[in-house]
Chain A
Amino acid sequence: MNRNESNRGSEARSLALYAAYVLLAVAILIYILAFFAGNTGIAINGGAINEERNSITIALSEEPPQLDSTRSTDASSFVVLAHTMEGLIAYDQNDQLTPGVAERWEIRDDGATFWIREEAIWSDGQPVTAHDFEFAWKRVLDPDTAAQYAFILYPIKNAEAVNQGDLPKEMLGVRAVTDLVLEVDFERPTPYFDKLVAFNTYFPLREDFFESTNGRYGADAEMLLSNGPYILTEWIHGASMVWKKNPYYWNSEKGLLDEIVTAYITNDANANLNLFKDGQIVQTGLTAPMLPTAMEQRWQIDRFMDGTLFFLEFNHRESRITDNLHFRKALYFAQDPSELVYKVLKEASYLPAESLFPIWIQGLQGAFRKEYPLPKHSLDLEKAREYLDLARQELGLEDFPPIILLTGDSSLSLLAAEYYQELYKKNLGLELRIDAQIFKQRLAKMTSGDFDIVMAGWGPDYFDALTFGDLFSSWNLNNRGRYQSEEMDNLVRTAQSELDPQKRMDAFGSIQELIYSDVVIIPMYERGVSFVVDPRLKGFKRRSVGPQVDYNYAYIDSSQN
């Protein structure tokens, strides 16, 4: 026994010696690796706010796929572009239109004119001209570009035909009369054109610079030209970005920081929260389970609606049961969105939805939904069962076959789907079959009409009721259920082209009414986000339309802290 003990002692000593050698080797290796790692990321440890450098650090949830404004479609590209670019018109802090590159403009029923300010300068010192807009818009509509957002330019004369390849792009109704005057012809009267030109796809692009990049425009920091408050000076893919103040930018109210560092790219909500807690980023979103922590920390929690509406959309194709109006109504009256939001999803920042038009949509003077209220909805089982009986008679069915509910595969949509499954079984004795699919497959099934009900989400593109209002027109490809009616099409046409604001808004009121009485959707919720901002940062803005986060007006208030 004793011998064994002493053996172990000497063995342990030799093991310890080995361990020491190995640790030394590991330490050396780490330093070698650190050298290589230095080339693949930037080391930033300046903290969330650096007053000396007038700089802030933020996190981005996704890497922008590329930053060519004519082709970008995703939220994080929109965020970056909103800081590096500026359109003819922009939105101010109160979501009101404010002059951008255009110092003034005129919108007529057959077209529009924009007068471009002389002070608008590209980040290489050359002036922004009307030609840059003409070039950009023609490029968007060029069939070879295959821009997914090309449709948003369709109010311009011949735009759709050019985009389909039926007309040459020289026929597009846009031309630079002089360097500073841009003329646009309309396909049809477009009273909301001023709101459209604030959108990313309408941003300018300079031909000579674009050509010099050999088709790689927007792929890297050097392959970009900016005319906005900030310039993208460094972009390490997947890792980090640096936006520096654009010295040529004209508007002294925007771009108040010298530097914005995107040091982290991750959509992991907990990682973002940890970074915020550690004082590394200036703001972060909070999911429902994080709210207690946030309150413990006595943070000032803000909330905003991110603009997106979620609803159940029926399939109106003839072979489907859901084509029956009374069946749809039965389903509508047998549910209550507030139960879904408050008891099932339990997301404090979500709002039970009531209409296709979200709560923040503007009417003539105030909120659209105040000016055009819908009948107050409440769960009405009696009515629901009456409608179901009517449907049963009309369809000549004893029992209803299982209804297919197409949904995404996120935990939230599955939770909601299971809720509806249970609800309709209990309230109407209907069997719902959940068809959960990955994103691209769900889109494929939505397009081909392989569903009875689909859980749909719709976010706004521009600050006008039409961004929701034309969803059920027969020509809208996003009308996945293929609802079709003469009345709806006429109303949407009026809403598109009517120049009298009152009549136009009335059309939206009628559209809402028609959706309630004939289309029938089941509104679920309006998505909201809770978030917390470093108290030293002022002027930060989250938006329902446009970039979700906006630092254009942000500045550091040194009196805090």
Chain B
Amino acid sequence: MFLFGLKRLLQGVVTVWFIATATFFAMHNVPGDPLLNERAGSEAIKANLESKYGLDQPLSTQYFIYLRNLSRGDFGISFTQENREVNDIIREHFPVSAILGILAIVFAATGGVLFGALTALYRNRLPDYIIMILVILGISVPSFVIAAMSQLMLVGINNMAGSTILPVAGWGTILHMLVPALVLGLGTMAYLTRLMRSSMLEIIGSDYIRTARSKGVPPSRIFAKHQLRNAILPVVTVLGPSIAAITTGGFVVELVFAIPGLGRYFVQAVQQLDYTVIMGTTVFYGAFLVFMVILVDILYGFIDPRVRLEK
């Protein structure tokens, strides 16, 4: 188990290095000059800025300097937010994205598992139909539409109530988080519901369920111990990547609800060709994703003894 973990960890480091390298060269090949501004500046000022950010060096030198700093965990200083270190940006804004993401994934996972089990239980009956229609909506409607609509709904609710029940936007209290997290987790919740449903149905027909029934195990026990627990496996598999996807993909929700998360910096950096922030956020998110996948691999072993890889 320990060796397995170590091996996966090493693979992860190589993956992150690959992400860093690919991003570095892709970014420098994107047309456009990060130091250009609306007001044209003189050559002297431009040269000063270039030497400040090390852009006057050949690309290979820049790459090695970058790798050296990266190994020390130093992402450099932002091009646009000139006084802020990329590390500070990540340190201040990732927790916000993470809190929102965790809540979203909790909503998504509990909702997905519960609704999935419910639809399997009431297969081809009214609750099944209603939930599946909602699921299709949740998967197909993009999050910016849902975000905007739910915000409008909040305004309506507050207006009707005559006072602010749930804040329309902003960040800081539990009430600020509920609706954005729900919106953020909705797509994943819908996806997980479908996964859970099909996985439940597959298991109902399996041999060991029939055996358990014939032994006279109480139905509620069969449901809980045999069916639910086994059906959850595939859900856990996709949970790892979804956590990363949700935590990193909150840009639209963060914008609509004015939430100070990292997603905004991630997207804006690309638009503004802010080299250091692009590199910092991409490598950070990449490492995060890799870590989540490894975590799920290990977790898998605990839930399903068959997967516990010997050697």
Interface residues of A (CB under 8 A from B): 7-8, 10-15, 18-19, 22-23, 26, 29-31, 33-34, 36-45, 47, 59, 63, 65-66, 68, 71, 73, 143-144, 146-151, 163-165, 215-219, 223, 236-240, 263-268, 270-271, 274-275, 277-280, 437-444, 447, 477-478, 480
- Of residues 54 to 105 in B, which have CB atoms within 8 Å of A's CB atoms? 78, 80-84, 89, 92-93, 95-96, 99, 102-103
Interfacial chain B residues near A148, Cβ < 8 Å:
37, 39, 41, 45
- B222-264: CB near A (< 8 Å → 1, else 0) gives 0110001000000000000000000000000001111011001
A–B complex contacts, Cβ < 8 Å, 20 sampled? A10-B220, A19-B114, A26-B106, A30-B103, A31-B174, A34-B177, A42-B172, A43-B173, A65-B84, A66-B82, A146-B48, A148-B41, A150-B45, A223-B83, A239-B96, A266-B258, A278-B164, A440-B272, A443-B36, A447-B40
CA of A144 to CA of B48, assembled, Å: 6
Interfacial chain B residues near A271, Cβ < 8 Å:
151, 168-169, 255-258
CA of A240 to CA of B45, assembled, Å: 32
B5 interface contact, C-beta 8 A = no
Once A31-B174, A438-B32 are accepted as A-B contacts, the answer to whether A14 and B223 lie under 8 Å apart by CB is yes
CA of A34 to CA of B174, assembled, Å: 5
Interfacial chain A residues near B117, Cβ < 8 Å:
15
CA of A12 to CA of B123, assembled, Å: 13
Minimum distance in angstroms from B151 CB to a CB of chain A: 5
* B173, A34: Cβ atoms closer than 8 Å: yes
* B169, A11: Cβ atoms closer than 8 Å: no
- B2-29: CB near A (< 8 Å → 1, else 0) gives 0000000000000000000000000000
Once A237-B92, A440-B272 are accepted as A-B contacts, the answer to whether A65 and B173 lie under 8 Å apart by CB is no
Interfacial chain A residues near B102, Cβ < 8 Å:
29, 33
11 more A-B residue pairs beyond the given contacts A65-B81, A437-B32, with a C-beta to C-beta distance below 8 A: A8-B122, A33-B99, A37-B173, A41-B172, A143-B44, A148-B41, A264-B258, A268-B256, A440-B34, A443-B32, A443-B33
Contact among B32, B52, B170, B271 for A264, CB-based, below 8 A: B170
* B256, A164: Cβ atoms closer than 8 Å: no
Contact among B42, B99, B219, B257 for A36, CB-based, below 8 A: B99
Contact among A11, A14, A41, A279 for B171, CB-based, below 8 A: A41
Interface residues of B (CB under 8 A from A): 30-34, 36-42, 44-45, 48-49, 52, 78, 80-84, 89, 92-93, 95-96, 99, 102-103, 106-107, 110, 114, 117-118, 121-122, 148, 151-152, 154-155, 158-159, 164, 167-174, 176-178, 218-220, 223-224, 228, 255-258, 260-261, 264-265, 271-273
* B31, A444: Cβ atoms closer than 8 Å: yes
Once A268-B256, A274-B151, A274-B154 are accepted as A-B contacts, the answer to whether A23 and B45 lie under 8 Å apart by CB is no
* B96, A40: Cβ atoms closer than 8 Å: yes
Minimum distance in angstroms from B209 CB to a CB of chain A: 12
CA of A218 to CA of B82, assembled, Å: 10
* B49, A146: Cβ atoms closer than 8 Å: yes
Minimum distance in angstroms from A155 CB to a CB of chain B: 16
Interfacial chain A residues near B167, Cβ < 8 Å:
45, 280
CA of A10 to CA of B218, assembled, Å: 9
CA of A215 to CA of B84, assembled, Å: 11
* B45, A143: Cβ atoms closer than 8 Å: yes
Interfacial chain A residues near B159, Cβ < 8 Å:
277-278
B164 nearest in chain A by CB position: A45
B148 nearest in chain A by CB position: A270
Residue from A26, A144, A268, A447 with most neighbouring chain B CB atoms (10 Å)? A268
* B38, A73: Cβ atoms closer than 8 Å: yes
A65 nearest in chain B by CB position: B81
* B168, A278: Cβ atoms closer than 8 Å: yes
Contact among A151, A270, A437 for B256, CB-based, below 8 A: A270
* B83, A274: Cβ atoms closer than 8 Å: no
CA of A39 to CA of B142, assembled, Å: 31
* B172, A43: Cβ atoms closer than 8 Å: yes
CA of A441 to CA of B271, assembled, Å: 10
Interfacial chain A residues near B154, Cβ < 8 Å:
274, 278
Minimum distance in angstroms from A11 CB to a CB of chain B: 4
Once A274-B154, A275-B168, A444-B33 are accepted as A-B contacts, the answer to whether A146 and B52 lie under 8 Å apart by CB is yes
Interfacial chain A residues near B82, Cβ < 8 Å:
65-66, 71
Interfacial chain B residues near A150, Cβ < 8 Å:
41, 45
Once A26-B110, A44-B172, A66-B83 are accepted as A-B contacts, the answer to whether A268 and B219 lie under 8 Å apart by CB is no
CA of A47 to CA of B170, assembled, Å: 12
Interfacial chain B residues near A33, Cβ < 8 Å:
99, 102-103, 174, 177
Contact among A36, A236, A274 for B152, CB-based, below 8 A: A274
* B110, A238: Cβ atoms closer than 8 Å: no
CA of A238 to CA of B95, assembled, Å: 13
Interfacial chain B residues near A73, Cβ < 8 Å:
37-39
Minimum distance in angstroms from B155 CB to a CB of chain A: 5
Minimum distance in angstroms from A19 CB to a CB of chain B: 5
* A18, B224: Cβ atoms closer than 8 Å: yes
CA of A112 to CA of B172, assembled, Å: 50
* B36, A40: Cβ atoms closer than 8 Å: no
B127 nearest in chain A by CB position: A12
Once A41-B260, A274-B154 are accepted as A-B contacts, the answer to whether A14 and B45 lie under 8 Å apart by CB is no
Once A14-B224, A275-B169, A277-B159 are accepted as A-B contacts, the answer to whether A219 and B83 lie under 8 Å apart by CB is yes
Contact among B44, B48, B114, B168 for A274, CB-based, below 8 A: B168
Minimum distance in angstroms from A171 CB to a CB of chain B: 16
Minimum distance in angstroms from A75 CB to a CB of chain B: 10
Contact among B114, B228, B271 for A438, CB-based, below 8 A: B271
* B36, A444: Cβ atoms closer than 8 Å: yes
Interfacial chain B residues near A146, Cβ < 8 Å:
45, 48-49, 52
Contact among B40, B122, B178, B260 for A239, CB-based, below 8 A: B260
* A40, B219: Cβ atoms closer than 8 Å: no
A441 nearest in chain B by CB position: B32
Contact among A11, A47, A279, A440 for B36, CB-based, below 8 A: A440
The 3 tightest CB contacts between A and B, nearest first, are A238-B260, A43-B172, A219-B83
CA of A144 to CA of B45, assembled, Å: 8
* B260, A13: Cβ atoms closer than 8 Å: no
CA of A320 to CA of B218, assembled, Å: 86
* B220, A163: Cβ atoms closer than 8 Å: no
* A38, B121: Cβ atoms closer than 8 Å: no
* B110, A447: Cβ atoms closer than 8 Å: no
Interfacial chain A residues near B155, Cβ < 8 Å:
274, 277-278
CA of A476 to CA of B112, assembled, Å: 61
Minimum distance in angstroms from B30 CB to a CB of chain A: 8
Minimum distance in angstroms from A432 CB to a CB of chain B: 21
CA of A11 to CA of B122, assembled, Å: 11
Once A15-B114, A238-B92 are accepted as A-B contacts, the answer to whether A38 and B41 lie under 8 Å apart by CB is no
CA of A164 to CA of B41, assembled, Å: 11
B157 nearest in chain A by CB position: A278
Minimum distance in angstroms from B153 CB to a CB of chain A: 10
Minimum distance in angstroms from B259 CB to a CB of chain A: 8
B31 nearest in chain A by CB position: A441
Interfacial chain B residues near A23, Cβ < 8 Å:
110
Interfacial chain A residues near B110, Cβ < 8 Å:
22-23, 26
Interfacial chain B residues near A477, Cβ < 8 Å:
40-42
CA of A239 to CA of B78, assembled, Å: 18
Interfacial chain B residues near A59, Cβ < 8 Å:
258
CA of A216 to CA of B40, assembled, Å: 25
Minimum distance in angstroms from A1 CB to a CB of chain B: 13
Once A263-B170, A270-B148, A444-B31 are accepted as A-B contacts, the answer to whether A43 and B36 lie under 8 Å apart by CB is no
* A30, B177: Cβ atoms closer than 8 Å: yes
CA of A447 to CA of B40, assembled, Å: 8
Minimum distance in angstroms from B89 CB to a CB of chain A: 8
Minimum distance in angstroms from A515 CB to a CB of chain B: 19
Interfacial chain A residues near B151, Cβ < 8 Å:
270-271, 274
Contact among A10, A37, A240 for B99, CB-based, below 8 A: A37
Interfacial chain B residues near A270, Cβ < 8 Å:
148, 151-152, 256
